[in-house]
C-alpha cells in the first residue's frame, strides 16, 4: 500500500504534517478528511533505502538517519500497546501519528504493509538493516516464535536506553575538556597570527639582541602567519589519511590492537566493549536465542577487532563442547574478572543474570573512571594553557625590561 506525506489543516486551522497510507492519492485525501484534517499538500513518500545501499555519502542521507533514541521510544510504545492487547498491525497503526521522525514514520508504515502482506515482524524488519540491527531482528524473531514479543520489545528498549544513557554521561563528562581545548586552540591562533606580529614590530627597530624566548616567539609567529594554511592543510591531510587507514582491515586491526595497549584508555575501551558484549549476549540468551547464534551476532558489536576475533574463536570452542568462559579465556583479551564471573554463571546455571551483572560492573567502572579522568584533565589543561600564555607574555615583556635597564 502506498505511503503519503501530507500537510493539512485541523479544525482549528493549525497546520500539521505526517504520514498516511492509502490505496491512492484520492483515498488518502478522503482518509484525511474523515479524520477531521483538510489536506493542503499531499505527495507519495519515497521508501527508505533497503538492503543494497549506495556507498556515496550525502548530507541529506547523513541527517535523515534514524537515531537510536527514536527507535528506543518507538520500541517502548510498541511493547506497551501489545501488552495492552493491541494486535501488532493495530499497534503500529496507533504509534505512526505519534512518531516525530518522518523517516521512521515511512519505515513503520512500510513494515505494517509487509506484515499485512503476510510477512512476519522480523522479516519486515530485515528490510531496513540501517535502522534495525541484527540483534534487534534476532530478538524479535525469538519473541515471535515464543509468543513473548511484548517482553522482548521491553528488553530491547531497556538495552538501547541503557546504552544511550551511558554514552550521554560520557559525552557530558568530556564536554568541558573538549570545549576548553577548542577555545584554547582558537586563542592561540589569534595570538600567534594577529597579536604577536603587531607587538613584535615594536622590537624590529631595536639595535640589540633580543632574548631567546622573544626570538623563538617571533619566529613561530611569522612562520604561522605565513604558512597557517599549510599547517591546517597538513592536519586535514593527516586526518583524512587516518580515516582512510581506519577503514581498511589492516588499519582497523592495528588501531584496535594498540588502543587496548594504551595506559588507562586501553582499559576503558576494553571494559566498554566487554560490557556491551555481556549485556547483548545476556539479552539474546534470555530470549531463547541459541548460544552459537548469539555469539555470531554479538561478535560484530564489540567495537574492537581483537575482541570480535576472540568472540569468533570462542564460538568455535563452544561448538566443540567447551564452556564459554574457557573459550573466551583462550583469546587473552577479556578481563579475568569477566571470565571468572562467566564461569561462575555457567556452573550455577544462571549465565544470563551473570552477564547482566558483568555489564553493570564494567559500565559503572567506565563511568567512574571517566569522571575521575575529567576531574584531572581540567586542571592539567588550565596549567598547559596558562604555561603557553605565560611564555608569550614573558617573551614580550623581557625586551621591555632590558630597555628599562638600558635607560637607567
What percentage of the chain has pLDDT greater than the value 90?
5
**Structural domain ending residue among the three candidates 115, 141, 160:** 160
298 domain residue, yes or no = yes
Same domain (yes/no): 285, 333 = yes
- 149 and 296: one domain? no
Using alpha carbons, select from 163, 159, 139, 225 the residue that is nearest to residue 190.
Answer: 225
In this prediction, residue 339 carries a pLDDT of 92
Same domain, 82 and 188: no
Tell whether 333 and 299 lie within a shared domain.
Answer: yes
Range of the domain at 98: 66-160
- Determine contact, residues 4/28, Cβ cutoff 8 Å: yes
pLDDT of residue 46: 55
Q: Is residue 61 part of a domain?
A: no
Domains contained in the chain, number:
3
Looking at the fold, whether 146 and 257 belong to one and the same domain comes out as no
pLDDT at position 265: 82
Which grid cell sits at 209?
639582541
Query: What pLDDT is stored for residue 155 in this prediction?
Result: 80
197 lies in the same domain as 125: no
Residue 51 located in a structural domain:
no
pLDDT value for 32? 76
Show the cell assigned to 223: 612562520
384 and 263: one domain? yes
Low-confidence ranges of the chain (pLDDT < 50): 47-63
> Both 403 and 266 in a single domain?
yes
CATH number at residue 356: 1.20.81.30
Considering the domain boundaries, does residue 52 fall inside one? no
In a domain, 55, yes or no: no
The last residue of one of the domains, among 108, 128, 160, is 160
Q: What is the pLDDT of residue 258?
A: 87
Any domain includes 58 = no
Rg of the Cα atoms in the chain: 29
pLDDT of residue 404: 66
| Residues facing 9 on adjacent strands | 15, 38
Quick one: 10 and 104 in the same domain? no
Query: H or E segment at 3?
Result: strand 3-9
Q: In what order do the strands lie in the sheet with 38-44?
A: 15-21, 3-9, 38-44
Please report the pLDDT score of residue 41 as a whole number.
76
342 in the same domain as 256: yes
Answer with the one of 160, 194, 227 that is the final residue of a domain: 160
364 part of a folded domain: yes
Q: Are residues 176 and 242 in the same domain?
A: yes
* Shared domain check, 248 and 206: yes
* This model's pTM is above 0.85: no
- 316 and 172 in contact (C-beta within 8 Å)? no
DSSP letter, residue 47:
P
**Closest by alpha carbon to 298, among 286, 315, 323?**
315
For 99, 145, 149, 160, the CA distances from 83, given in Å and listed in that order, are: 19, 16, 9, 19
Residue 168's CB: how many other CB atoms inside 10 A?
Answer: 11
Q: For residue 60, is it within any domain?
A: no
Q: What is the tens place of the pLDDT at every residue in 156-179? A: 888 788 878 878 877 887 788 888
pLDDT confidence of residue 49: 42
Amino acid at each position: 500500500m502506498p505511503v503519503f506525506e501530507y500537510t493539512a489543516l485541523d479544525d482549528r486551522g493549525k497546520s500539521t504534517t505526517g504520514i498516511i497510507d492509502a490505496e491512492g492519492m484520492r483515498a488518502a485525501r478522503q482518509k484525511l478528511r474523515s479524520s477531521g484534517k483538510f489536506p493542503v499538500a499531499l505527495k507519495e513518500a519515497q521508501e527508505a533505502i533497503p538492503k543494497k545501499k549506495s556507498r556515496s555519502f550525502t548530507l541529506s542521507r547523513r541527517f535523515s538517519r534514524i537515531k537510536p533514541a527514536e527507535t528506543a521510544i518507538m520500541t517502548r510504545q510498541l511493547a506497551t500497546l501489545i501488552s495492552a492487547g493491541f494486535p501488532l498491525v493495530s499497534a503500529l497503526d496507533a504509534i505512526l501519528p505519534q512518531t516525530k521522525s518522518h523517516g521512521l514514520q515511512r519505515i513503520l508504515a512500510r513494515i505494517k504493509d509487509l506484515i499485512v502482506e503476510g510477512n512476519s515482524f522480523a522479516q519486515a524488519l530485515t528490510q531496513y538493516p540501517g535502522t534495525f540491527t541484527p540483534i534487534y531482528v534476532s530478538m524479535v524473531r525469538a519473541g515471535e516464535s515464543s509468543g513473548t514479543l511484548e517482553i522482548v520489545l521491553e528488553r530491547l528498549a531497556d538495552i538501547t536506553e541503557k546504552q544511550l544513557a551511558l554514552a550521554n554521561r560520557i559525552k557530558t563528562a568530556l564536554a568541558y575538556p573538549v570545549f576548553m581545548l577548542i577555545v584554547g586552540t582558537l586563542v592561540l591562533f589569534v595570538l600567534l597570527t594577529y597579536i604577536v606580529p603587531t607587538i613584535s614590530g615594536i622590537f624590529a627597530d631595536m639595535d640589540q639582541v633580543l632574548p631567546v624566548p622573544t626570538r623563538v616567539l617571533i619566529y613561530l609567529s611569522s612562520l604561522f602567519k605565513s604558512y597557517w594554511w599549510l599547517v591546517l592543510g597538513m592536519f586535514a591531510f593527516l586526518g583524512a589519511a587516518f580515516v582512510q587507514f581506519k577503514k581498511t582491515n589492516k588499519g582497523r586491526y592495528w588501531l584496535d590492537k594498540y588502543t587496548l595497549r594504551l595506559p588507562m584508555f586501553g582499559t576503558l575501551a576494553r571494559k566498554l566493549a566487554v560490557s556491551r558484549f555481556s549485556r547483548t549476549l545476556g539479552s539474546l540468551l534470555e530470549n531463547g536465542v541459541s548460544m552459537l547464534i548469539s555469539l555470531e551476532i554479538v561478535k560484530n558489536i564489540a567495537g574492537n577487532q581483537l575482541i570480535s576475533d576472540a568472540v569468533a574463536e570462542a564460538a568455535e570452542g563452544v561448538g566443540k563442547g567447551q564452556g564459554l568462559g574457557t573459550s573466551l579465556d583462550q583469546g587473552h583479551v577479556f578481563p579475568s574478572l569477566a571470565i571468572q564471573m562467566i564461569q561462575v554463571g555457567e556452573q550455577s546455571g544462571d549465565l544470563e543474570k551473570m552477564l547482566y551483572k558483568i555489564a553493570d560492573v564494567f559500565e559503572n567502572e567506565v563511568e567512574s573512571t571517566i569522571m575521575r579522568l575529567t576531574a584531572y584533565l581540567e586542571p592539567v589543561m588550565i596549567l598547559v594553557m596558562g604555561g603557553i600564555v605565560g611564555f608569550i607574555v614573558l617573551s614580550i615583556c623581557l625586551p621591555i625590561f632590558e630597555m628599562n635597564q638600558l635607560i637607567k
